Amino acid sequence: MGDLLANLLNPYNLQLVMLIAINCLLGLSVWVPLSAGQLSLGGAGFMSVGAYTAALLTLQAGWSMPAAILAGAALAAALALLLGYPTLRLQGVYLAIATLAFGEMVRILALNLRITNGALGLAGIPQMVDEVSWYLWDHTSLGSGQGPLDPHTAGSLIILGVLYVLLAAAVYALLRQAGSRVGRALRAIQADELAARAMGIDTRYYKLLVFTQSGFLAGLAGGLYAHLYYFIGPGDFGFTRAIEMLLYVVLGGMQTLWGTLVGASALTLLPEVLRFSASYRLMIYGGVLVALMIFRPEGLISAALVDALSWRRRRPARALPPGEGAA
Amino acid sequence: MARRGHAGAAPRPLETGAHAATVWLQQLINGVSLGATYSLVALGYTLVFGTLGIINMAHGEIFMFGAFFGLLLVETGLLSSVGMLAAAAGGAAVMGLLLEYIALRPLRRRQGGHLTPLISTIGVSIFLRSLALQLFGPESQSFPAALKGGSFRLGGTVVTQVDAVILTAALGLMLGLWLLLGRTKLGKAMRATAENQTTAALLGVNTEAIIALTVMLAAALGGVAGALVGLSFAVSPSMGLPYGLKGLSIIVLGGMGNVVGAMVGGLLLGFAEVVTVQLFSSSWRDMAAFALLFLLLVVKPEGLFGRAHQAGGKV
């Protein structure tokens, strides 16, 4: 029994489960604008900003990790707001390619600036798990080897808990938002932006709002990512990452937020599951994408499926109270 | 993932004391040569977008396979630029046909969301890149020097034979495409299908065949571009991505679906890059495309040659 537990809790598995939480945050950062019909591929850029900011603050300015990670997320959100302004009037593919260009610009900057250490990237970033483990080692009985777990495993479990609490908080906030006046405005914009504006919805405000939220989530995920690994480099936040983030959402199903979570988890695990096929796994991965788009274009989790699984019966549509429909 | 290695167009060494005019003339030649390949890549994107309204994310990988098809032919001992380009075009066209039948047509039947063709072509691109890694290995390979030929001087500037091949092939293809679209019945059918599929079908155009043909033509142009880029730099499985991204920037620059816009946009980007290299350094070269694109989108979202009503579609 103890062996089984130790096997299950090996550092590799634990890190994989932590990565799932981070990828879920990344997926949500794409889902939020997409829920208002805005396809943004700039997520990798915002993740990069969050990761580099947080890593530089802990590495060189000596900030504490939570403060640095929050600062990274805040800076990414601010940048998203700034980027949102000029790109507001872009639609569809134009917005996608403009945000993609933004992501590439961030990558090329990181590749060329001295502070980001160019192509070599930043190494020796303090790790969240280490920090907690050392604390446990010094201050609890785990350090003397008497506890059921060694300090490193215990530290990993604590960080794992923190990551999932953060994810749960993000999910809760987004669910509350989807059920509110804001959520209805976003759905209206997704259905038809022109009609939404004609109904008095301030589309500029809501589009900037989702952009900023998206930047915050990606920046947060970036900061966490930087402090989960020792090293970040410009190559970690390139076009491939942006596409991966989009795949989480589309593959999982973009109709609901749950699809994104399922998609991010599945796509993080899939390469591990396909590990047996070694060199063919990317080919299988690509084939799966094509097949899924042919046979289930709405993604793994559709809104109808969520309704069917929901223990709460769907409320019959009711008329909105006056004043609530238009935001 | 290091994927920019091969794309560095180092400025040709200039003899010392060459006065500024010669330097810029040399850069003009470099810019046209580089820009012409960009135009070819962008034309492939724009043809497919104009007809189907989708971005073919596998285009960069077809471009890469085109270069390998050319290389494979040359390795059989046939040292001919024309044969090499024909092999690249033919092989890539077959890949385009497969793409249409496997990843595009089934989606049109199902009428999925607007994002589904984007994702399915991304799937194809992941598949193709990993297939190329399996087949050809990760290293960069070069065309034999005998095929590349030497260089000649033109009023103080150096023009390589590769430049000449690129210019002849690219400009010839663009002229051919322009004539095909503008002057032939087939071109008229293609433009009609791009304009409105239902109406074109009602008027007796076999739209499915035209779409397949357009995708094949786009792939063939991409394949030739890949072979030309491979000829002047190197061939590797990762060469598709940077060119694909630049091709995407160019079609927005020139206006989505606009054929002339893609040609001019490609040349413009070629110039912008050599100017960037000349004024700053080669490590900032890739910034030119994205900065240019970003600026343009903010100032004139419909692209240089786009019409205002091209709203970009819904996602």
Question: If you write DSSP's letter for every residue of A53-106 in order, what string do you get?
Answer: HHHHHHHTS---HHHHHHHHHHHHHHHHHHHHHHHTT--HHHHHHHHHHHHHHH
Question: If you write DSSP's letter for every residue of A1-24 in order, what string do you get?
Answer: -HHHHHHHT-HHHHHHHHHHHHHH
Identify the CA nearest to B63 among candidates B290, B181, B237, B259.
Answer: B237
Confidence at residue A297, expressed as pLDDT on a 0 to 100 scale = 83
Rounded to the nearest 10 degrees, what angle do helices A203-226 and A11-34 cross at? 170
d(CA A237, CA A219) in angstroms, rounded, equals 12
Decide if A108 and B128 are in contact by the 8 Å CB cutoff.
no
| Bigger pLDDT: B272 vs A307 | B272
In this prediction, residue A146 has a pLDDT band, given cuts at 50, 70 and 90, of: low
Q: How many CB atoms lie within 10 A of CB A322?
A: 7
d(CA A151, CA A265) in angstroms, rounded, equals 27
Q: Which of A87-101, A211-225, A292-306, A313-327 has the lowest mean pLDDT?
A: A313-327
Neighboring chain A residues of B131 at a CB cutoff of 8 Å: 283
Q: How many residues does chain B have?
A: 315
For residue B280, report the phi and psi dihedrals to the nearest 5 degrees.
-110, -105
Confidence at residue A320, expressed as pLDDT on a 0 to 100 scale = 46
CA dist B12 → A123, A222, B26 (Å): 35, 40, 8
| Minimum distance, in Å, between the CA of residue B14 and any CA atom of chain A | 25
Question: If you write DSSP's letter for every residue of A171-228 in order, what string do you get?
Answer: HHHHHHHHTSHHHHHHHHHHH-HHHHHHTT--HHHHHHHHHHHHHHHHHHHHHHHHTT
| pLDDT, tens digit, 9 for 90 and up, residues B53-67 | 888 999 999 999 999
Identify the CA nearest to B205 among candidates B215, B216, B191.
Answer: B191
In this prediction, residue A1 has a pLDDT band, given cuts at 50, 70 and 90, of: low
Decide if A112 and B283 are in contact by the 8 Å CB cutoff.
yes
Angle in degrees, CA A310, A314, A316, rounded to 5:
180
The whole-number average pLDDT for the span B99-122 is 84
* Residues of chain B above pLDDT 90, percent: 37
pLDDT score of B4 more than 60: no
Confidence at residue B6, expressed as pLDDT on a 0 to 100 scale = 41
Confidence at residue B40, expressed as pLDDT on a 0 to 100 scale = 92
d(CA A291, CA B151) in angstroms, rounded, equals 49
Is B151 strand, coil or helix?
Answer: strand
| pLDDT, tens digit, 9 for 90 and up, residues A147-188 | 677 888 888 889 999 999 999 999 999 999 998 999 999 999
Angle in degrees, CA A311, A315, A317, rounded to 5:
155
| Minimum distance, in Å, between the CA of residue B230 and any CA atom of chain A | 22
Nearest CA in chain B to A279: B134
Neighboring chain A residues of B115 at a CB cutoff of 8 Å: 39, 250, 254
The whole-number average pLDDT for the span B64-79 is 90
CA dist B296 → B254, B288, B304, B308 (Å): 10, 12, 8, 14
- ipTM summary value: 0.80
Decide if B115 and A94 are in contact by the 8 Å CB cutoff.
no
Angle in degrees, CA B190, B256, B213, rounded to 5:
25
Contacts of B29 (CB under 8 A, 6+ apart): B154, B157, B159, B163
Is A270 strand, coil or helix?
Answer: helix
Amino acid at B16: T
For B312, what's the count of Cα atoms within 13 Å in the CB-facing half-sphere? Answer: 23
Decide if A104 and B245 are in contact by the 8 Å CB cutoff.
yes
Confidence at residue B18, expressed as pLDDT on a 0 to 100 scale = 54
